[in-house]
């Protein structure tokens, strides 16, 4: 496995892969890798000849009061996971490589997709996401890229950017990996206290309760929303940011659930903020 730290090193590696006809799958990460990231790497491995992973804690997607400085950075453990998973190359640049002095070019996906939910709560977050993902695509030049369903709004936004800019990258969104009690794997789960960790699965419980209602024929989004709110309210440690039913490809809220829907939820447990979602495929005879 090669550890690459500059754009030139990545470009040279990519040229080598191209010269021998190897298809490259790419998994962009901020490190603190867990089984969810491993599932993305495995998916990339199954569909490509070589896998590249980036490990870069991107400062431009963090707000001023967010956790950039304390975000976990266990590089040696991350590299060990990549080696075990058979990754061919890891791109781990310094911030100055990605954002050199005088950097002033930004990528924005405008509209409700970037301005609602996570975009509303974290202003500027998706500008940072779109910018770093496009830069990484241009540097690595992968044939395909792999993202997790847990960050559904991010994945939807990246799909929009790929389509709008005609980027030659095939996007794959892989299922959320969960703990046995339903909690979605996240690098930020390490922030939870033991008591908060015990209560955090309430988010998944809320999603499953809402899913059950939809699958039983409930079409009123307000009812589905209320079920999620009521479920989270049973845990006093959880402070709900939002719960919603949205169209999966636009993130526009729906009033009547007449087709497949994406259930969203986000809440704070003390200083730790968790997000989750659940795609629901409605029975076609409903």
Dump pLDDT digits (tens) for 21-66: 999 999 999 999 999 999 999 999 999 999 999 999 999 999 998 9
Q: Are strands 89-91 and 50-55 parallel, antiparallel or unpaired?
A: parallel
pLDDT of the residue at 285: 64
Is 76 contained in some domain? Answer: yes
Distance, CA of 84 to CA of 77 (rounded, Å): 11
Distance, CA of 235 to CA of 232 (rounded, Å): 6
Do residues 47 and 89 share a domain? yes
DSSP reduced 3-state for 277: strand
Give the list of residues 6+ apart from residue 47 with CB closer than 8 angstroms, or none.
Answer: 23, 25, 144, 172
Do residues 149 and 255 share a domain? no
Q: Are strands 170-174 and 144-148 parallel, antiparallel or unpaired?
A: parallel
Instruction: State the pTM of this model.
Output: 0.96
Low-confidence ranges of the chain (pLDDT < 70): 285-286
The domain that contains 26 carries what CATH number?
3.40.50.620
Give the list of residues 6+ apart from residue 60 with CB closer than 8 angstroms, or none.
Answer: 99, 124, 127, 128, 131, 132
pLDDT of the residue at 124: 96
261 to 20, 71, 95, 203, 248: CA distances (angstroms): 43, 32, 38, 17, 6
| Domain that includes residue 252, residue range | 187-278
Q: How many domains does the chain have?
A: 2
Do residues 70 and 145 share a domain? yes
Do residues 78 and 115 share a domain? yes
C-alpha dihedral (123, 129, 135, 138), degrees to nearest 10? -140
pLDDT of the residue at 138: 98
Do residues 15 and 148 share a domain? yes
Q: What are the catalytic residues?
A: 37
DSSP reduced 3-state for 188: helix
């Amino acid at each position: 496995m090669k550890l690459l730290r500059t754009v030139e090193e990545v470009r040279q590696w990519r040229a080598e892969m191209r010269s021998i006809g190897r298809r490259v799958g790419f998994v962009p990460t901020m490190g603190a890798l867990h089984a969810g990231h491993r599932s993305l790497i495995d998916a990339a491995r199954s569909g490509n000849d070589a896998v590249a992973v980036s490990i870069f804690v991107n400062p431009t997607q963090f707000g001023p009061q967010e956790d950039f400085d304390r975000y976990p950075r266990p590089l040696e453990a991350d590299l060990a996971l990549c080696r075990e998973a058979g990754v061919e190359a890891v791109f781990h640049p310094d911030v100055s490589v990605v954002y050199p002095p005088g950097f002033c070019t930004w990528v924005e996906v405008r509209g409700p997709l970037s301005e609602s939910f996570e975009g509303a709560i974290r202003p500027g977050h998706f500008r940072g996401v779109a910018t770093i993902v496009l830069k990484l695509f241009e540097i690595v030049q992968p044939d395909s890229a792999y993202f997790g369903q847990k960050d559904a709004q991010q994945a939807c936004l990246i799909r929009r950017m790929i389509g709008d800019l005609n980027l030659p990258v095939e996007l794959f969104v892989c299922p959320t990996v969960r703990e046995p009690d339903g909690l979605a794997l996240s690098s930020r789960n390490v922030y939870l206290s033991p008591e908060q960790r015990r209560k955090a699965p309430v988010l998944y419980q809320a999603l499953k309760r809402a899913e059950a209602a939809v699958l039983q024929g409930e079409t009123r989004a307000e009812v589905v929303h209320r079920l999620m709110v009521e479920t989270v309210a049973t845990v006093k440690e959880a402070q709900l940011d939002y719960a919603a039913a949205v169209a999966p490809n636009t993130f526009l809220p729906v009033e009547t659930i007449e087709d497949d829907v994406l259930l969203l939820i986000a809440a704070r447990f003390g200083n730790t903020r968790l997000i989750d979602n659940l795609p629901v495929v409605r029975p076609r005879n409903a």
